[in-house]
Amino acid sequence: MRTRGRNSFSPTERQAVYRAIYERRDIRSHFQPTPVPPEVLGRILDAAHHGPSVGFMQPWDFIVIRSAAVREAVHECFVAANRQAAAAYSGERLALYGGLKLEGIREAPVNLCVTCDRLRNKGAGLGRQTDPATDLYSTACAVENLWLAARAESLGVGWVSILDFEMLRRLLEIPPHVIPVAYLCVGYVSEFPGEPVLETAGWERREKLTQLLHFDRFGGKDSGQAASMFPQRAREEE
Ligand SMILES: Cc1cc2nc3c(=O)[nH]c(=O)nc-3n(C[C@H](O)[C@H](O)[C@H](O)COP(=O)(O)O)c2cc1C
């Protein structure tokens, strides 16, 4: 059995974990061309590989893309999808959308494609028999681990979901039973914005956590619990 000392985080360690969480940002500009040392890349990939997975299935694979030619071709997958995505907006939203930088595929020195092998023969179906989508959720957990570890390494990560995935599959030779879950741009950056870029650009605002809390059932009212859960916030909002 582990001692209490080993189970506990010191206040400084705990603070560091929360710092990584609150200061993680989606990065798509300000990438520096500085190469990412292989051992640093290895550490963030290993953090991803230690993510939780359904039945311990570990459904992920990681495609490391450094080639400028491949990144250029992936950028074409973005251009194709972005043309279609923009068509969903009009007026002011369209103008705002057009001004957003939504990827750093060519600027980031490393791109990663994190995939989910839906037929991976590990985990003996535990959990997945009931909910087959849990392998995809597991892969997203691996991505978040990588994202937080990257922040602790001062590496920016941007998730690009606006891609023509059929084009991407062909380009990266991804077999049909493997799903490209996340396409990530990784590199050192000159700054980590304090707030989400979409917030500062006026696209969307962070919802108040207390608006998203329910007690005992969906829609269940707060009978004063929230104030004791977030005393600091309650004082600020008074
Ligand atoms: C599944 C997923 C897909 C995303 N796809 C994109 C994308 O295609 N382009 C983009 O600019 N940001 C993308 N993002 C980043 C979000 O816009 C970003 O996380 C959000 O605005 C909050 O900002 P923050 O991550 O800096 O806190 C994606 C994030 C997630 C989790």
Tokens for 195? Answer: 């707030």
Nearest CA to ligand 1 atom 31: 159
Rounded Cα–Cα distance for residues 46 and 143 (Å): 11
From the CB of 198, is ligand 1 less than 6 Å away?
yes
Beta bridge partners of 189: 31
**DSSP, res 175:** -
Within the chain, which residues score under 50 in pLDDT?
Answer: 1-3
Rounded Cα–Cα distance for residues 118 and 57 (Å): 10
SS3 39: helix
Residue 88 has a pLDDT of 96
Query: Which uninterrupted H or E stretch holds 65?
Result: strand 60-65
Residue holding tokens 């023509």? Answer: 164
Nearest CA to ligand 1 atom 18: 26
- Using alpha carbons, list the distances in angstroms from residue 34 to 106, 113, 181, 188: 13, 20, 26, 7
From the CB of 79, is ligand 1 less than 6 Å away?
no
Pocket test for ligand 1, best of 96, 159, 204 (most atoms within 8 A of CB): 159
Domain-by-domain residue ranges, the chain? Answer: 25-206, 207-238
From the CB of 167, is ligand 1 less than 6 Å away?
no
Atom of ligand 1 nearest to the CA of 100: 11
Residue holding tokens 């400084």? Answer: 12
Whether domain 25-206 has CATH 3.40.50.10800: the reply is no
Nearest CA-CA partner of 61 in 122, 2, 106, 7: 122
Helix ranges restricted to H, the chain: 4-7, 11-23, 38-49, 68-86, 91-98, 134-152, 165-172, 197-200, 225-229, 231-237
Rounded Cα–Cα distance for residues 87 and 162 (Å): 13
- Using alpha carbons, list the distances in angstroms from residue 49 to 61, 62, 142, 169, 208: 9, 9, 6, 22, 32
pLDDT in tens, 125-177: 999 999 999 999 999 999 999 999 999 999 999 999 999 999 999 999 999 99
Atom of ligand 1 nearest to the CA of 163: 8
From the CB of 151, is ligand 1 less than 6 Å away?
no
From the CB of 55, is ligand 1 less than 6 Å away?
no
Atom of ligand 1 nearest to the CA of 160: 8
DSSP 100-139: -----TTTSSEEEEEEEETT---STTTTTTT-TTHHHHHH
Nearest CA-CA partner of 51 in 62, 40, 39, 38: 62
Tokens for 210? Answer: 């207390």
